[in-house]
Every structure is written in C-alpha cells, then in structure tokens.
Amino acid sequence: MFSAADSVRKENVGDTVHLRALIEFSNICKNNCLYCGIRAGNAKIKRYRLTADEILSLAKSAKEMGLHTIVLQSAEDLGYKTSDLCHIIEGIKRLDVAVTLSIGERTYAEYKAYKEAGADRYLLRIETTDKYLYHKLDPKMDWERRFACLLALKDLKYELGTGSLIGLPSQTIESMAEDILFFKRLDADMIGVGPFIPHPDTPLKDAKGGTLTMALKVMALTRLMLPNINIPATTAMETLEAGGRNKALQSGANVIMPNITLSDLSKNYALYPNKSRTPLADIKAAILKLGRTVGTDRGQSIAYRLKSCS
C-alpha cells in the first residue's frame, strides 16, 4: 500500500517536497476539546498571543530562509479582530509569498474578508466524520457547523485543506474509511492526517492513542483516492516515532511544515506532548537523502490548479 501510494505521488505531483513556514501565533482557545493540550480547560499551560509586528517579523524571517508559503496557525482565539487579521495578511502578502490560514471556525463574512486581504489557502480539519465521536470529544462544538465552514471556504475559492486524527478513543476502522471518502466527496486540495497523541493535562491522558502505521495507512489510501492533492508529512508522525516524517514521504506525502515560531513560545503550543522540532537544514538534508527535491516555489496544489483552469 505504501509503495503504491509513493508511486502515485511520484506520477501525479512529482518528487518535489514543498515547505511551509508554520507560525503558531496564539494558543488561547475558546474550545475545550478533550484530546487537545491547549484546550480552554488546561490551566497548566502558559498562554500567549503574538502582536502583528511579531508575526510579520517571523514571516520576514521565513522569506529570508527561502520559504514561500506562510502558515498562520492559532487556537480558536477570538481576541484578534477581523481588521487585525486582514492587516497581518496584507503585510505578509507584500513579501510575495502565499498565505495559509489555520484559525478555526469563522463566519462567511470573515472568511471573505481574509480572502480579499490576500489569503490563499485555509486549513480546517474535520477531525472525524463520526458525528457521535466528534460531539463526544468536542464539547459545545457542532459537526454540521464545521462542515458548513468547509463549504463556505470552497465557495470562496480558497485552496482548501482538511484532515483527521487517527487513533481517537472508540474510533472505528469504518469511520476512518468514511473519513477518506469524505475527503474525496469534499474534493479538498490538501489533506493532513496525524496520529492522536494523548496529552497528560487532558481528560484523555490515559488513552491508548494512535499508531504511526495506522496514520500512514489512512494517508496512503488518501493519496490513492486523491492523486493530485498535497499531503503533509505531519510533525505528529515524527513525534510519535523518530523517522516518521521520512516514512510519510515514502508513503504518499509531499509537504513538510517547518515550525519557525520562537521555541520558547512554540513549547506552549502543545497540542500533544514532546512535539518534534527539527531544524530546517536537517529537514532539507533528509529530503535530499531520500532522492527528492526541495521546493523553491509556493507549491500550489495541482488539484486546485486543475480546478482553477477548468
């Protein structure tokens, strides 16, 4: 399966590995998801929120490193006004880079404002298509509302990313298969699949968690179902097992998102414990060692490009 996914990846999106600069700009969250280390109910974590100037400074550093996509990721923090975020997006776009947002559920009007400010892509993971499990693990959240957000983003012509957690308590093989079918029906442009890693300061601290092998299986099957999309080798895979990122690159993945957030802050963006942090130079060296090439452009999804041309 992994070999087949790797072959399909090579045939459809080539050997280039696209790099995205990840800026985790706030860990303040209004939600209380049982599996997440930065859930509102975790009083042990040190909270932070970067200013516009701090975010723009990190983006400039990323451009100087040769990274051509900036991913702005945060918890569901409502402390930033729409105008604040649009100002940040506009500032980053002046660097001549692509901007990806991963900031959760917003209104159609907010998504539209971000798009008009220059945002190119949006990542919003569905987490699981099992609605009962979703509502059990995400108190006060609503699966249908999240799905509506994905449809709004598609309607606004964002390059759309979603994904799922693998190994959640009570998650079944059938629901993981349904996740893959959901990705295909949604016709997403990027899919991020990662193993669930229990955090010690959450209600699921004693859960078994996911395995790298199962996460890779879901990822590989997703590549076989959606041959032209972008698929990241997620940090969670590397955290769960040293070399996990390389295994993902050999099983259908073609994207890596190096974290450029200052380390003293990034340690508090702890969705799961002991998050791997690999230097950019080491990531590039590993890509070349696998016989792949390091991307030097914005790495737009071929699936999105084909839809845009049709």
CATH topology of domain 2-309: TIM Barrel (3.20.20)
The Cα–Cα gap between 75 and 28 comes to 6
Q: CA 198, 201, 203, 205 torsion: positive or negative? A: positive
The C-alpha angle with vertex 63 and arms to 269 and 277, in degrees rounded to 5, equals 35
pLDDT tens sequence across 283-302 = 999 999 999 999 999 999 99
Note the pTM of the prediction, 2 decimals: 0.97
pLDDT class for 109, splitting at 50, 70, 90? very high
pLDDT-derived band of residue 264, with 50, 70 and 90 as boundaries? confident
pLDDT exceeds 80 at position 154: yes
Q: Assign residue 96 a region: left if phi > 0, alpha if psi is -120 to 50, beta otherwise?
A: left
Q: Tell me what the mean pLDDT of segment 214-222 comes to.
A: 98
The 8-class DSSP code of residue 49 comes to B
Reduced DSSP (H G I as helix, E B as strand, rest coil) percent helix, strand, coil of the chain, to 5: 40, 15, 45
* Tokens standing for residue 126: 């569905």
* Residue from 28, 29, 34 nearest 201 by CA: 34
Q: pLDDT (tens digit, 9 = 90+) per residue, 27-63?
A: 999 999 999 999 999 999 999 999 999 999 999 999 9
